[in-house]
Structure 1
Amino acid sequence: MAGEVQQGIGRAAAVLTALGDAKSGALRASDIARAIGLGASTTARLLASLEELGYVRRERDTQLYAIGTAILSLGSQALNHNPVHRESRAAAEALAQRTGLSVNVGVLDGTSLVYLCHFEGALAPKSHTMVGMRQPLHASGLGKCLLFDLDEAGRRALLGDELERYTVHTLVDHAALTAALAESAERGYCTENQELALGRLSIAAPVRDADGRVVAGISVSGRLSVVRELDHEQLAEQLIETADRISVGLGMISAVPTAAR
């Protein structure tokens, strides 16, 4: 019985994943069946159950299925229960308004980072939200912040010996990543200059808990042509001040020695 329940949950999750990955945002039942490798009748039963529960919806007058509002409700509840999200949301939004750039807050999840907050300033409009999306740790400013508490051996254990390349600027050598993180820890923030996507630049600062451990990162980012025109020193100061404010909200009450950054 337990195996059947686990199998059913896995199949339902596969349906939701297929819908989430759909570029159009909706799929026919036959497309979902092919994507998850199940028969048409099994997929139809899964969709009917998920639709009844509100996890998927069938678009009116079509045979297309999309993610339902019950998923949105669960996602909202998960964010509201997350202390990092609660403490950082207002501060991140205010920073986006002051700088005009995109501001993201991310946390470690497995071997990648996942975004908890995303706000756009006037200089960095987007047509989609980054909340819930994942990015690699070694190739993003936020991700580098989340690696601060690990030594090189720990990073190798987490990320593996081979680091994936995304652009010609990506750090794919652990020794180079270690040197970059040491420099970043000394100044209090990380940079990402076209390492994940060409034409993009960001800076990120770590967010710490009551024990001084890095539990999140916050970044400001935008198009290279836009960020180049801004005062980077002033931008970094605003970013670090915001990260410290969030850290205090999470219980940090003392300064963190440079060596521990």
Structure 2
Amino acid sequence: MPRSSNTREVGGGTQSVERALSLLRAFTEEHPERRVSELVQLTGLGQSTVSRLIGTLEILGFVTHDSHSGLYRIGPTVVGLAGIALNQSPIHLQSRQIAQDLAGELNLGANVAERQGPELFYLCNFEGRSAPRSFTLIGRRGPLHATAMGKALLTDMAAEDIEGLIGARYPTYTPKTILDIDNLLASLAEGRERGYTTELEELAFGRACLAAPVRDRSGRIVASLSVSGPLSAMDLPRRQDELAMKVIEQADRVSSGLGYHAAVPSAIAGG
């Protein structure tokens, strides 16, 4: 039986949406600006299709165009939607002020991330005076095995679940990156025992990070909170205990805001 006109319209509309989204996905951290010719090459779409879709996206504010350079970049509509998404996140709402205050108090970076599949996803990022950045980490993703925040997110997971999620061997970022599940499990066991996880030049040279898990009402780990910065600013030989205590304390505050209450051991009868 032939399709109705409504079915054809729905199918065509879906295809147009998919094509438009493929154009938006072509903009990355490494390539935040693109020419039409690049978009044609990356998406495999015809030049007339790309020109038509990118023009519509520009009208709607999803991209902007620099008439001098001919380059397109992500537009204000996407930024607005990202803000709406963040403001609907209970983790972001509960942790934002806490992370901002922590960065100001310690003069270090303070970050909050959740897990999305096999990666961490930054929800908050504030930089103190001793750990400046010229860009925000919000919206970025990162590896679970090579970051203190990622390890904190894995702390309560069983070994077989971790292996099913990220495998048994991992990408290398520096000579100090954990490369296999056995060493990762050993690091997680240490983190469980002391209440926080560490990262010492495992993702990037010259940087360190301490993180603690954040739990929701059910007690499940849903996020992690960290302090980070250059090795000189973190000064772990002298400050690790102090920083760890701060991170654990503030992660617990976020957990409390999400409804988590740690179980208190019952008093021994007659004790």
Q: TM-score range by the shorter chain?
A: over 0.9
Which protein shows a greater Rg? 2
Within the candidate set 245, 262, 267, 1:254 is matched to 262
- After superposition, the C-alpha distances for 1:42-79 in whole angstroms (9 at most, x for unaligned) are 11011011112111111244422111100000000000
SS of 1:149 mapped into structure 2: coil
Cα distance in 1 for residues equivalent to 2:264 and 2:118 = 25
Cα distance in 1 for residues equivalent to 2:185 and 2:80 = 40
- Does residue 8 (structure 1) correspond to residue 11 (structure 2)? The answer is no
Task: Tell me the residue number matched to 2:73.
Answer: 66
Cα distance in 1 for residues equivalent to 2:129 and 2:28 = 28
Unaligned runs of 5+ in 1: none
Cα distance in 2 for residues equivalent to 1:256 and 1:114 = 32
Task: Tell me the residue number matched to 2:242.
Answer: 234
Task: Tell me the residue number matched to 2:35.
Answer: 28
Cα distance in 2 for residues equivalent to 1:146 and 1:42 = 42
Is the contact made by 1:20 and 1:67 (CA closer than 8 Å) also made in structure 2?
Answer: no
Q: Counterpart amino acid of 1:208?
A: R
- Does residue 209 (structure 1) correspond to residue 238 (structure 2)? The answer is no
Task: Tell me the residue number matched to 2:110.
Answer: 103
Task: Tell me the residue number matched to 2:121.
Answer: 114
Q: Counterpart amino acid of 2:215?
A: R
Residues paired across the two proteins, number: 256
Task: Tell me the residue number matched to 2:173.
Answer: 166
Task: Tell me the residue number matched to 2:162.
Answer: 155
RMSD of aligned alpha carbons: 1.6
Unaligned runs of 5+ in 2: 1-7, 266-271
Q: Counterpart amino acid of 2:204?
A: A
TM-score where L is the length of structure 1: 0.93
Cα distance in 1 for residues equivalent to 2:25 and 2:170 = 26
SS of 1:94 mapped into structure 2: helix
- Does residue 123 (structure 1) correspond to residue 130 (structure 2)? The answer is yes
